[in-house]
Amino acid sequence: MKKVGILGGTFDPPHIGHLLMAEEARMQMSLDEIWWMPNYLPPHKEKVSNTSNDDRLAMVNSMVGLHESFRLCDVELRRTGPSYTADTMDVLTKRYKDIQFFFIMGEDSLETLDQWHESERLKSLVSFIVIPRPGYRRPRENVSDGITVIDAPAVDISSSDIREAVAAGNMNRFLLTKEVYHVIKERRLYDDQ
């Protein structure tokens, strides 16, 4: 059975932290592919992004092109309304019966997993791969079945900080791949934030 990791996010913009998460999960869990899944409307975000879906897709597509095991999954962008992970994974597990799905998340998201929309249904559909985040060192003995915390660098990079830095004209260009950086520059993204 094929093993696929789902890396969901607003990806506004996708940065090297996302890239490291994807590759560490792929290598350590022997995943066949990583599907990058941009959210349409994440229920936990208070403010909707000013960045268009087309712009976010262009940035994610540029990341996906960096590795032969990366794919774009636009299932959430094709729906309207909140992007509930349980609903999305229900669609994917029914559509791809020959795939075992793993949902990749940061330790910060693990803390609130039980509060997610239909979290018990979600837990019955997928296993979880948890990536360390700075300030969120959860003891491994407190992690339940179906959740694997992997050893990976805890990277403190924030998409919102990158957007603010671009707007201020002082962004560290090396927080992004050159491909994403070029999409941002060509489309003049975040200049007016």
User: How much is the pLDDT for 40?
Assistant: 83
- Which residues, 6 or more positions from 101, have their beta carbon under 8 angstroms from its beta carbon? 4, 5, 6, 89, 92, 93, 125, 126, 127
Average pLDDT over residues 20-44: 91
Rg of the chain on CA atoms, in Å: 16
Report residue 113 CA to chain centroid gap.
15
Report if pTM > 0.85: yes
pLDDT of 58 strictly over 80: yes
Segment 66-92 shows an average pLDDT of 92
- Asked if the model's pLDDT at residue 144 lies above 80, the reply is no
Residues in contact with 16: Cβ distance below 8 Å, sequence separation at least 6, in sequence order: 155, 157, 174, 175, 176, 177
Q: What is the structure's pLDDT at 125?
A: 97
pLDDT in tens, 102-140: 999 998 888 889 999 999 999 999 999 999 887 766 555
Percent of the chain whose pLDDT exceeds 70:
91
Q: Which residue ranges make up each domain of the chain?
A: 2-155
How confident is the model at residue 81, as a pLDDT? 78
The CATH number of the structural domain formed by 2-155 is: 3.40.50.620
In this prediction, residue 78 carries a pLDDT of: 87
